[in-house]
Amino acid sequence: MNAIQHFKTITKHKIFVMKGCFQIGLYKQGILHDLSKYTPAEFLIGCKYYQGVRSPNNAERESKAYSEAWMHHKGRNKHHYEYWTDYSLDGRGIVPVSMPRKYVAEMFIDRVSASKIYEKENYNQTKPLEYFLQGKGHYNMSQKTSDELELLLRILAKKGEKATYKYIRKKFLHK
């Protein structure tokens, strides 16, 4: 078990996200971000599958064909688009719904922070956009949410973190 390394990784990630959320005025979200990762349902699995270069949820998924830790996590954290699904009224079954912008902003910061953690010295401001574009066709995300997230990632790739946080704080959260 890699309890100490896993604890350090999730705590470093949480601190990165908290700082980012504070920069855009989302103080409560910054403090509460990913607290479920410290619960036994997520933490113990994270320790078991810890690798340090990617999410332990992927390793658990490869081992078991699903991730219990992820299912626990996505159901408790509104900054994940997977949280935002509901039954449609027109018979299409379970469909994605648009996320409130404050959670899109937190999701953006979460993705940037995860990229920094896993990419380490290879991180640059285009990595989060590249990662998003690689999986874009597979996300069950509302079009509006996808467009908003991609906009923020493109601003980051072009103008950097400081300019993107300013845009989020001054414009994106007030539209």
Alpha-carbon torsion, ordered 31, 33, 36, 39, to 10 deg: -40
Q: What are the pLDDT digits (tens) for 95-129?
A: 999 999 999 999 999 999 999 999 999 999 999 99
Structural domain boundaries in the chain: 3-174
Asked whether the predicted pLDDT for residue 162 surpasses 80, the reply is yes
Per-residue pLDDT, 133 = 97
Q: What are phi and psi of 91, to 5 degrees?
A: 85, 10
**94-96 vs 85-87, strand pairing mode:** antiparallel
What pTM was estimated for this model as a whole? 0.94
**Rounded Cα gap, residues 140 and 97, in angstroms:** 10
**Is the separation of the CB atoms in 29 and 21 below 8 Å?**
yes
Question: For residue 73, what pLDDT band results from cuts at 50, 70 and 90?
Answer: very high
pLDDT tens-place string over residues 46-55: 999 999 888 9
CB 114 within 8 A of CB 13: yes
